A = this chain, B = another copy of it.
Amino acid sequence: MKLHEYQSKQIFSHYGIPIPSGRVAANAADAKQIAEELGGHVVIKSQVLVGGRGKAGGIRLAKSPQEAEDLATQILGIKIKGLPVRKVLVDEAASIETEIYLGITNDRAERKPVMMASSAGGVEIEQVAKETPDKIVKVHIDPLLGLRDYQARDIAAGIDLPREHWQTFSQIGRGLWRAYLRSDATLAEINPLVITSQNRLLAVDGKMVLDDNALFRHPDLAEMRDVDVEPKAETEARKYNLSFIKLDGYIGCMVNGAGLAMATMDIIKLHGGKPANFLDIGGGASSEKVAAALRIILSDSNVKAVLFNIFGGITRGDEVARGILAALQEVKTDVPMVTRLVGTNAEEGRQILSEANMITAETLVDAAKKAIRAAQGGEQV
């Protein structure tokens, strides 16, 4: 779960990291009011969960409350990478001397958190990693011991931070580690961490991504989820504990198992089709779950055919088939359906489905081809 900049910075502040004074506003009048409180010289920042806000005109400087209001009006009207801006953060403007990157993420290969820093702040770390990898300093953190003070100092030295800032930098590093640890984050980054012209360190922008699997122990953080920014279908899918991702193709996919679901998408593509979604219905396949999944798939008007790919393992094929039939009773549609059932009791399952108005297939390749043809209107049964 991604957090907005303003949410991330609230958390940072809670752990002792200095952030600019500021508040979030959902309309231009509030933005003006906040700008007045902050003395007029502010920065208006769109709160959307994508990068590149600056280039898209989503971050603007205002020299007066009136200008703040005008700019907020503009920014609240635009879309950035397709996402409408619903909130702006109004922050006291800082005069920036130096920009630093400081972040913590999980290093899968080392199975440890890694703290990364770079003197090339303000730029996405991936870009720095590509263009000037030697500018990135990395320190792995022992997950049982936590970040050590000497490691934070090593990083400060590694990015040639002036010594007068080492102690504050270490405190910020410790704060970021605690924010990461206690929020169960998978990413906590300050970018940029700036040195102001008053020679203070300040976390001007921040980003956190939380581990969805750990939200059960952070009910306060779970409430921060902004469902406005994700496709409605994904919100709906989460309700039914379905793993769903919308894509831009036209063949809806319903598969049991994440790996098999990916392989199904791949094979559709391999044969010239385009998958409309990733969907893993998981183990079992009750008719309610299948029905919900089907409704979600069909809510996308691009979908011209649906491919069921089910491997009957512990769950028996005939049971799954009945689940699908029951779901079809509920969700009336004339979109063509192709079903491939393999494994335990697959034969019985295929029998049940072919008696309904469904196209059946034996192999995955066969299923993909039939689904593509059906989508093109070439075969309705």
Contacts and interface: CB of A to CB of B under 8 A. Distances in A.
A145 B144 CA distance: 6
Contacts of A144: 144-145
A145 to B, nearest CB: 6
How many A residues are at the interface, by size bracket?
under 10
A33 to B, nearest CB: 37
Contacts of A145: 144
A27 to B, nearest CB: 41
A138 to B, nearest CB: 23
Interface in A133-147: 144-145
A85 to B, nearest CB: 41
Interface in A105-145: 144-145
Nearest to A143: B144
A307 to B, nearest CB: 44
Interface string A144-165: 1100000000000000000000
A216 to B, nearest CB: 15
A184 to B, nearest CB: 16
A144 B142 CA distance: 10
A73 B184 CA distance: 53
Nearest to A144: B144
Interface in A306-330: none
A375 to B, nearest CB: 51
Nearest to A146: B144
A144 B144 CA distance: 6
A109 to B, nearest CB: 22
A219 to B, nearest CB: 15
Nearest to A142: B144
A141 to B, nearest CB: 13
Interface in A199-255: none
A146 B357 CA distance: 59
A145 B146 CA distance: 11
A300 to B, nearest CB: 44
A87 to B, nearest CB: 35
A217 to B, nearest CB: 13
A144 B146 CA distance: 10
A144 to B, nearest CB: 4
A162 to B, nearest CB: 28
A145 B142 CA distance: 12
A377 to B, nearest CB: 58
A157 to B, nearest CB: 25
A349 to B, nearest CB: 42
A71 B325 CA distance: 78
A260 to B, nearest CB: 35
A21 to B, nearest CB: 27
2 contacts: A144-B144, A144-B145
Q: Which 2 A-B pairs have the closest CB atoms?
A: A144-B144, A144-B145
